[in-house]
Amino acid sequence: MTVSTKDLVKIYGSGETSVTALDGVTLEFRTGELTAIMGPSGSGKSTLMHCLAGLDTATSGSVRLGDTELTGLPDKQLTLLRRKRVGFVFQSFNLLPALTAEQNIRLPLDLAGRRPDPALWNHLIGRLGLATRLNHRPGELSGGQQQRVACARALITQPDVIFADEPTGNLDSASGAEVLAFLRLSVRELRQTVIIVTHDQVAASYADRVVALADGRVTRC
Amino acid sequence: MLTFVLAGLRYRRARLLLSSVAVALGVAFVSGTLLLNASMNASYYSRFATGAANVAALVAAPHSGNPPGQFGGQTVPRSLLGTIRDIDGVAAADGRVIGPAAILDPATGHVAGNGFGVNVTAADPSLSGFTLVSGHLPDAPDEVDIDKSTAADEHLTVGQQVKVVTSTGGIRVFTLAGTISTGVNPGIGNSTVLAFQTSEAFSVTGQSSYALIVARARPGVSQHSLATRLAAVARGYQVQTGAQFASEEANDTTGVGSVLTTGILIFAAIALIVACIVIYNTFGILIAQRSREFALLRCVGASRRQVFRAMLGEALCVGLASSAGGLLLGIALSWVLGHVLAPPGTGPAPLVIAPSAVAVAVITGVVVTVGASVLPAAAATRIAPVAAVSGAGALAAVTRRSSWLRVAFAAVTAVAGLALTLAGLHTKIPAGLFEVAAGGCVFFLAVLALGPLITPPLVALLAAPWRAVITRMAVANARRNPHRIAASTAALTIGVTLMTLFTVVFSSVQASTDAAIAGHYPFDYVVETSGSQLVPPRVVSALDRAPGLSTVASVYTQHTTVNGHQLLLGAYSHDALGVMLKPKMVAGSLAAVGPGTAAAGSGRVGSFIEVSTPDAGTVRLRVVAVYNVSAYRTPVPDVLISTADFVRGFRPAGPGAVVIDASPGVSTASSRAAVNAAVASDPLLKVDTLADYKATLNSGVDSILDLVTALVALAVLIALTGISNTLTLSVIERTRESALLRALGLTRGQLRQMLLTEAVLMAVVAVLLGGGLGIGFGAAIIGSMEHSGNGIGTLSVPFGHLALYAVIAAVAGMVAGVLPSRRAARTDLLTQLRD
pLDDT value, residue B49: 55
Euclidean distance between CA atoms B429 and A138, whole angstroms? 64
**Alpha-carbon span B685 to B682, nearest angstrom:** 6
Nearest to B1 among A55, A80, A110 (CB): A110
How far, in Å, CA of B39 to CA of B45, rounded? 10
What average pLDDT does the structure give for chain B? 76
Q: Is the peptide bond before B430 cis (omega within 30 degrees of 0)?
A: yes
Q: Is the CB of residue B308 less than 8 Å away from at least one CB of chain A?
A: no
Distance (Å, rounded) from C-alpha B266 to C-alpha A110? 46
Which of these ranges, B395-399, B742-746, B751-755, has the smallest mean pLDDT? B395-399
Q: What is the pLDDT of residue B391?
A: 47
In sequence order, what are the residues at sequence separation of 6 or more whose Cβ sits closer than 8 angstroms to the Cβ of residue B71?
Answer: B98, B99, B100, B116, B187, B188, B211
Is any Cβ of chain A less than 8 angstroms from the Cβ of B473?
no
Q: What is the mean pLDDT of residues B533-537?
A: 81
Average pLDDT over residues B146-158: 82
Pick from A55-69, A130-144, B262-276, B282-296: least confident: B262-276
Residue B43 has pLDDT above 70, yes or no: no
pLDDT of B463 above 90:
no
| Residue B14: Cβ-neighbour burial (10 angstroms; 0-12, 13-18, 19+) | exposed
Q: From CA B620, how far away is CA B308, in angstroms rounded?
A: 80
Average pLDDT over residues B122-131: 81
Assign A124 a pLDDT band (cuts: 50, 70, 90).
very high
Reported confidence tier of residue A163, pLDDT bands at 50, 70, 90: very high
User: Among partner residues A76, A84, A165, which is closest to B389 by beta-carbon distance?
Assistant: A165
Burial class of residue B416 in the structure, from the number of CB atoms within 10 Å of its CB (0-12 exposed, 13-18 middle, 19+ buried): middle
Q: Quickly state the pLDDT bin for A28 (edges 50, 70, 90).
A: very high
Q: Is the pLDDT of residue A137 over 90?
A: no
Q: Between B188 and A57, where is the model more confident?
A: A57
Q: How confident is the model at residue B589 (pLDDT cuts 50, 70, 90)?
A: confident
Residue of B nearest to A167 (CA): B389
Across the interface, which of A82, A88, A103 has its CB nearest the CB of B3? A103
Q: Identify whether the C-beta of residue B278 lies closer than 8 Å to the C-beta of residue B491.
A: yes
Q: What is the mean pLDDT of residues B212-231?
A: 88
ipTM (interface pTM): 0.76
Residue B306: pLDDT over 60 = yes
A57, A88, A153, A162: which to substitute to probe chain B, counting the most B Cβ within 10 Å?
A88
Whether the pLDDT of residue B176 is over 70: the answer is yes
- Partners of B300 on chain A (C-beta within 8 Å) are 82-83, 88, 107-108, 111, 153
Asked if pLDDT for residue B641 goes beyond 70, the answer is yes
Query: What is the distance in angstroms between the Cα of B400 and the nearest Cα belonging to chain A?
Result: 21
Give the pLDDT of residue B585. Answer: 79
Checking if the pLDDT of B520 tops 70, the result is: no
Q: Minimum mean pLDDT among A116-120, A153-157, B683-687, B770-774: which range?
A: B683-687
Q: pLDDT band at residue B15, thresholds of 50, 70 and 90?
A: low
pLDDT at A34: 94
Nearest CA in chain B to A85: B301
The answer to whether the beta carbons of residues B756 and B821 sit under 8 Å apart is: yes
A contact test, residue of B1, B300, B317 with most A CBs within 10 A: B300
Phi/psi of residue A69, nearest 5 degrees: -85, 120
Average pLDDT for B198-224: 87
The pLDDT tens digits of the residues spanning B312-366 come to 888 888 889 888 998 898 888 778 766 765 554 455 556 667 787 788 888 888 8
Of B1, B11, B303, the CB nearest to A97: B11
- Report percent pLDDT > 70 for chain A: 100
Closest CA relative to residue B165, chosen from B176, B173, B153, B156: B173
B388: confidence class by pLDDT, cuts 50, 70, 90: low
Mean pLDDT check: name the lowest of A53-57, B9-13, B153-157, B825-829.
B825-829
Say if residues B71 and B187 touch (Cβ distance below 8 Å): yes
Distance (Å, whole) CA B345 – CA B338: 13
Beta strands B525-529 and B192-197: pairing type?
unpaired
Inspect the interface and report whether the beta carbons of B12 and A90 lie closer than 8 Å.
no
Q: Residue A159: which of A123, A128, A187 has the closest Cα?
A: A187
Task: Indicate the SS3 state at residue A34.
Answer: strand
If you write DSSP's letter for every residue of B349-408 in order, what string do you get?
PPP---HHHHHHHHHHHHHHHHHHTHHHHHHHHTS-GGGGTSSS-PPPPPP---HHHHHH
Q: How confident is the model at residue B66 (pLDDT cuts 50, 70, 90)?
A: very low
Q: Is B389 on the interface with A (CB under 8 A)?
A: yes
Residue B399 has pLDDT above 50, yes or no: no
Q: Is the pLDDT of residue B25 over 80?
A: no
A161 touches A195 (CB < 8 A): yes
Q: Are the beta carbons of B388 and A90 separated by less than 8 Å? A: yes
Higher-pLDDT residue of B787, B439: B439
On whether any CB of chain A is under 8 Å from the CB of B63, the answer is no
A180 confidence band (pLDDT: 50, 70, 90): very high
Q: Is B340 on the interface with A (CB under 8 A)?
A: no
What is the model's pLDDT at position B487?
A: 74
Using a CB-CB cut-off of 8 Å, the residues of chain A touching B307 are none
User: Quick check: B300 contacting A, CB < 8 Å?
Assistant: yes
Number of Cβ pairs closer than 8 Å across A and B?
Answer: 81
Is the pLDDT assigned to residue B768 strictly greater than 50? Answer: yes
Overall average pLDDT of the B20-29 stretch: 78
Say how far apart CA B701 and CA A87 lie, in whole Å.
71
Q: How confident is the model at residue A151 (pLDDT cuts 50, 70, 90)?
A: very high
Instruction: Establish how many alpha carbons lie within 13 A of residue B689's alpha carbon, considering only the half-sphere containing its beta carbon.
Output: 10
Candidate from A103-117, B15-29, B126-140 with smallest mean pLDDT: B15-29
* B447 against A150, higher pLDDT: A150
- Which of these ranges, B490-504, B621-635, B704-718, has the smallest mean pLDDT? B704-718
One DSSP character per residue, B661-677 reads: EEPTT--HHHHHHHHHH
Q: What is the mean pLDDT of chain A?
A: 89
Q: How far apart are CA B246 and CA B243, in angstroms?
A: 5
Q: Could you tell me which residues are beta bridge partners of residue A29?
A: A3
Per-residue pLDDT, A220: 79
Burial, B744: exposed, middle or buried (Cβ in 10 Å; 0-12, 13-18, 19+)? exposed
Q: Express each pLDDT in B496-508 by its tens digit.
A: 887 788 778 777 7
Mean pLDDT of B715-720: 68
pLDDT digits 0-9 by tens, B405-436: 778 888 888 888 888 888 877 766 566 667 77
Q: Do B300 and A111 touch (CB under 8 A)?
A: yes
Residue of B nearest to A91 (CA): B389
Q: CA-CA distance, A166 to B509, in Å (whole number)?
A: 73
Name the residue type at position B562. V
Evaluate if residue B834 carries a pLDDT over 70. no
Q: Are B659 and B687 in contact (CB under 8 A)?
A: no
Residue B578 has pLDDT above 70, yes or no: no
Average pLDDT over residues B9-14: 70
State the average pLDDT over residues B233-254.
72
Q: How many beta carbons lie within 10 A of that of residue B597, not counting itself?
A: 18
Is the pLDDT score of B24 beyond 70? Answer: yes
Mutate to test the interface with A, among B299, B305, B307 (most CBs of A within 10 A): B299
Per-residue pLDDT band at A177 (split at 50, 70, 90): very high
* pLDDT over 70 at B38, yes or no: no
B304 touches chain A (CB under 8 A): yes
pLDDT at B392: 42
**Residue in A closest to B304 by C-alpha:** A76
% of residues, chain B, pLDDT over 90: 2
pLDDT digits (tens, 9 = 90+) for B675-691: 878 887 776 777 766 65
* Angle value at C-alpha B459, between B453 and B461, nearest 5 degrees: 100
Give whole-number Cα distances, A177 to A146, A167, A171, B110, B327, in Å. 14, 10, 9, 105, 57
What is d(CA B328, CA B318) in angstroms, rounded to the nearest whole number?
16
